[in-house]
């Protein structure tokens, strides 16, 4: 009889909660953790204090939103009948989602100055990418590091890389978090333990009743959102490990989810709900401050807009629904966002000896991954000049990179920015889905927000391109913060990165320098090619289906191992959004769309050896 108890419990929860699918109530399958004998952060020009601050500094975000103490008190969404399940916040459990363990530490030697949020450190030993956002109550939030800190394992060594793509599965994490809340409400005995952790041993019945009502309210809101999102689920492309449809998620969070919390009269947020169908590999972020345009599709110019928009996408709060109060009032800690960007950027790379001086790309760790073959590297250098340098520029270690005509003239602050090549999708041939978002997506918003567009319903609703609506909302939120904190025009220019809030919507992808490229698998903007060897091969030789979620590194082909084991994510490259086409080296006739001649297998290995050295 015992073996049937989990099924009976799940059925009971389904009946009580009204869930339409029992399958939705089982916890997500996750890869097991592999044994680690050593963990090493690579040298990238950051001190340990700077690294720790970046890992846990708040962007003013709140996951769901969810009080910090609730997150710490939740149990894993597992059904165990002879012992209590472990805590959701257990670092070893979160590691199975791809999160990186981080030390328990209160505060930091980096002290916040005026207008910065207090820095709480990591008082409960949460993984890299989690923050304690100050508030009433404090909130659990994601930091930049949640998506932009990478790690790879090789023969028991965990290699940790700041600014590299994360390999987390945020979709499975959100599912587990939602189930943990539901189990707390419905599984007998679980709420009592939760209440004791949140309120303390001496809490009153009134406090417990209020906590229970707050939990039910949160669950009702989550169920409402899920029911609506299920209407577009069939069009979604699963993101899996290491990928996220970031642009669409930002649009959905700001123009759909935020409006559900307090919907203006006569406005239906459902008009702004779309499927997440354009997943991208988490981008690596070293050097990006010095590019004129960022994002894979070269769509955003201003650093402050980029960072503020990202914060809103992971649930920083903003008032778009109460025009009788201060519109665009937000939880954005603008100085924090600037400090994060400043730490990544470093000093002007042209101010002294040419070179990037912020977070630097990682060097290949020969003592862990093996020595670089110098003979192959030399042959690969000639191949790089022949086939790669025309788009990706000379290696950043060479004077010709810093003398490139793509560097703009200095601005009034003496800073120069690099105009990367923007290659049309019709030429590069890669999956166009992500590049189409800003071209094709439109949203509707109440007219009181001041977004320019086409008026509907007696002028009370405005339809506008998503890019234009987002630019308006983010800029007004930031400008309001500047006004409230009496920031001078000169300081506004500095905080904005000396660049205007320009967006462009073109069917293009940019070509960035390849320093540190070995640390950024999988490849292409959508992560549809598992390793460099496959990327240098014709499309028909690339894997059609492979799995993401393994952390073991393959130093020969330069990528993660791709075996499909329990809990990993199967990426099918035949699905639009996952296409592995383009960026092809192939010898063919004049009408064939390729970027370079075909490479023999030995040439591919030669070029890879050179790329390791960047």
Q: How far apart are CA 108 and CA 122, in angstroms?
A: 9
In a domain, 85, yes or no: yes
Residues 539-551 have pLDDT tens digits of 999 999 999 999 9
In a domain, 247, yes or no: no
Per-residue pLDDT band for 241 (boundaries 50, 70, 90) equals very high
pLDDT at 484 over 90: yes
The percent of the chain in helix, strand and coil, each rounded to the nearest 5, is 40, 15, 50
Residues 22-38 have pLDDT tens digits of 556 788 999 999 999 99
| Strand-strand pairing, 559-560 and 157-162 | unpaired
What are the structure tokens assigned to 294, written together? 């960022």
pLDDT at 1 over 50: no
In a domain, 184, yes or no: yes
Per-residue pLDDT band for 13 (boundaries 50, 70, 90) equals low
Per-residue pLDDT band for 525 (boundaries 50, 70, 90) equals very high
- C-alpha torsion sign, points 582, 583, 589, 592: positive
Torsion on CA atoms 577, 583, 588, 589, rounded to nearest 10:
80
Query: pTM of the full predicted structure?
Result: 0.94
Cβ(182)–Cβ(141) below 8 Å? no
| Strand-strand pairing, 157-162 and 149-154 | antiparallel
Q: Given this model, what pLDDT does residue 114 score?
A: 66
Per-residue pLDDT band for 63 (boundaries 50, 70, 90) equals confident
pLDDT at 376 over 70: yes
Query: Average of pLDDT values for 84-101?
Result: 96
What is the total count of domains within the chain? 1
Query: Average of pLDDT values for 570-584?
Result: 98
Residues 315-329 have pLDDT tens digits of 999 999 999 999 999
Q: Measuring CA to CA, which residue among 375, 393, 431, 608 is closest to residue 511?
A: 393
pLDDT at 594 over 90: no
Q: Given this model, what pLDDT does residue 304 score?
A: 97
Q: Given this model, what pLDDT does residue 5 score?
A: 43
In a domain, 185, yes or no: yes
Query: Average of pLDDT values for 372-379?
Result: 98
Cis peptide preceding 65, ω within 30 of 0: yes
Q: How far apart are CA 471 and CA 466, in angstroms?
A: 8
Q: How far apart are CA 482 and CA 295, in angstroms?
A: 25
Q: How much is the mean pLDDT over the chain?
A: 93
Q: How far apart are CA 415 and CA 477, in angstroms?
A: 26
Name beta bridge partners: 572.
Answer: 545
Cβ(386)–Cβ(598) below 8 Å? no
Q: Given this model, what pLDDT does residue 535 score?
A: 98
- C-alpha torsion sign, points 244, 245, 247, 250: negative
Spatial CB neighbours of 571, under 8 Å, sequence gap ≥ 6: 240, 527, 528, 545, 546, 547, 548, 578
pLDDT at 109 over 80: no
In a domain, 98, yes or no: yes
pLDDT at 590 over 90: no
3-state secondary structure of 94: helix
Per-residue pLDDT band for 136 (boundaries 50, 70, 90) equals confident
pLDDT at 8 over 50: no
Q: Given this model, what pLDDT does residue 22 score?
A: 52
Q: Measuring CA to CA, which residue among 271, 278, 282 is closest to residue 247?
A: 278
- Phi and psi for 596 in degrees, rounded to 5? -170, 165
Per-residue pLDDT band for 106 (boundaries 50, 70, 90) equals confident
Q: Given this model, what pLDDT does residue 612 score?
A: 98
Q: Given this model, what pLDDT does residue 147 score?
A: 97
Cβ(388)–Cβ(500) below 8 Å? no
What are the structure tokens assigned to 334, written together? 């603008």
Query: Average of pLDDT values for 82-110?
Result: 90
In a domain, 203, yes or no: yes
Q: Given this model, what pLDDT does residue 24 score?
A: 67
Q: Given this model, what pLDDT does residue 9 score?
A: 53
Q: How far apart are CA 76 and CA 90, in angstroms?
A: 9
8-state DSSP, 244? E
Q: Measuring CA to CA, which residue among 324, 271, 329 is closest to residue 448?
A: 324
State what percent of residues in the chain have pLDDT above 90: 87
Beta strands in 453-556 (DSSP E): 454-456, 461-465, 508-511, 545-548, 553-554
Cis peptide preceding 137, ω within 30 of 0: yes
What are the structure tokens assigned to 291, written together? 């590019």
Burial label, 152 (beta-carbon count in 10 A; 0-12, 13-18, 19+): buried
The mean-pLDDT minimum among 81-95, 105-119, 463-477, 575-589 falls in 105-119
What are the structure tokens assigned to 100, written together? 């990186």
Q: How far apart are CA 85 and CA 83, in angstroms?
A: 6
SS3 track for 247-291: HHHHHHHHHHHHHHCCCCCCCCHHHHCCCCCCCEECCCCCCHHHE
The mean-pLDDT minimum among 59-68, 100-109, 358-367, 498-507 falls in 100-109
Q: How far apart are CA 297 and CA 428, in angstroms?
A: 12
In a domain, 117, yes or no: yes
In a domain, 207, yes or no: yes
Domain hosting residue 162, numbered range: 24-235
- Diameter of the chain measured on Cα atoms: 79
8-state DSSP, 516? T
Query: Average of pLDDT values for 509-534?
Result: 98
Cβ(91)–Cβ(100) below 8 Å? no
pLDDT at 18 over 70: no
Residues 179-208 have pLDDT tens digits of 999 999 999 999 999 999 999 999 999 999
Q: Given this model, what pLDDT does residue 161 score?
A: 98
Residues 380-424 have pLDDT tens digits of 999 999 999 999 999 999 999 999 999 999 999 999 999 999 999
């Amino acid at each position: 009889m015992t073996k049937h108890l989990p099924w009976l419990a799940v059925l009971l929860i389904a009946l009580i909660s009204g869930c339409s699918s029992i399958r939705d109530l089982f916890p997500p399958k996750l890869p097991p953790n592999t044994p680690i004998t050593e963990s090493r952060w690579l040298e990238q020009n950051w001190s340990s204090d700077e690294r720790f601050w970046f890992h846990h500094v708040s962007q003013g975000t709140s996951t769901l939103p969810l009080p910090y103490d609730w997150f710490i008190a939740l149990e894993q969404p597992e059904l165990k009948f002879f012992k209590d399940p472990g805590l959701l916040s257990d670092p070893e459990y979160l590691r199975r989602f791809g999160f990186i363990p981080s030390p328990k530490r209160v505060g930091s030697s980096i002290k916040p100055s005026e207008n910065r949020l207090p820095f709480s450190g990591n008082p409960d030993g949460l993984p890299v990418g989690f923050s304690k956002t100050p508030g009433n109550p404090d909130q659990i939030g994601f930091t930049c590091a949640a998506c932009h800190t990478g790690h790879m394992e090789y023969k028991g060594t965990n290699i940790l890389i700041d600014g590299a793509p994360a390999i987390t599965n945020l979709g499975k994490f959100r599912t587990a978090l939602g189930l943990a809340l539901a189990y707390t409400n419905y599984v007998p005995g679980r709420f009592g333990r939760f209440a004791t952790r949140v309120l303390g041993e001496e809490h009153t019945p009134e406090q417990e009743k209020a906590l229970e009502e707050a939990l039910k309210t949160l669950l009702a809101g989550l169920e409402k959102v899920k029911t609506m999102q299920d209407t577009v689920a069939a069009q979604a492309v699963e993101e899996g490990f290491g990928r996220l449809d970031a642009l669409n998620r930002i649009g959905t969070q700001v123009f759909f989810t935020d409006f559900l919390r307090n919907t203006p009269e006569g406005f239906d947020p459902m008009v702004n709900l779309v499927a997440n169908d354009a997943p991208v590999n988490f981008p690596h972020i070293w050097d990006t401050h010095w590019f004129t345009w960022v994002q894979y599709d070269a769509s955003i110019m201003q650093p402050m807009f980029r960072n503020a928009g990202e914060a809103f996408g992971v649930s920083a709060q903003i008032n778009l629904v109460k025009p009788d109060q201060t519109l665009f009032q937000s939880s954005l800690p603008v100085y924090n966002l600037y400090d994060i960007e400043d730490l990544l950027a470093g000093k002007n790379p042209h101010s002294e000896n040419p070179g990037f001086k912020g977070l630097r790309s990682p060097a290949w760790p020969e003592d862990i991954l093996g020595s670089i073959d110098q003979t192959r590297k030399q042959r690969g250098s000639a191949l790089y000049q022949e086939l790669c340098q025309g788009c990706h520029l000379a290696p950043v270690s060479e004077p010709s990179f810093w003398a490139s005509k793509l560097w703009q003239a200095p601005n009034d602050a003496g800073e120069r920015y690099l105009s990367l090549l923007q290659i049309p999708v019709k030429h590069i041939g890669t999956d166009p889905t992500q590049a189409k978002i800003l071209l094709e997506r439109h949203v509707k918003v109440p007219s009181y927000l001041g977004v320019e567009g086409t008026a509907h319903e007696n002028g009370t609703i405005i339809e506008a391109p998503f890019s234009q609506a987002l630019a308006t909302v983010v800029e007004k939120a930031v400008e309001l913060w500047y006004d409230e904190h009496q920031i001078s025009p000169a300081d506004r220019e500095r905080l904005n990165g000396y660049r205007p809030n320009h967006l462009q919507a073109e069917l293009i992808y940019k070509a960035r320098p390849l320093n540190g490229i070995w640390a950024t698998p999988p490849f292409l903007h959508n992560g549809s090619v598992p390793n460099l060897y496959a990327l240098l091969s014709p499309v028909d030789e690339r894997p059609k289906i492979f799995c993401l979620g393994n952390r073991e590194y393959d130093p020969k082909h330069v990528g993660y191992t791709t075996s499909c084991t329990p809990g990993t994510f199967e990426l099918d490259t035949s699905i639009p959004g996952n296409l592995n086409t383009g960026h092809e080296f192939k010898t063919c006739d004049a009408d064939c769309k390729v970027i370079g001649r075909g490479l023999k297998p030995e040439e591919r290995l030669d070029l890879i050896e050179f790329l390791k050295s960047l």
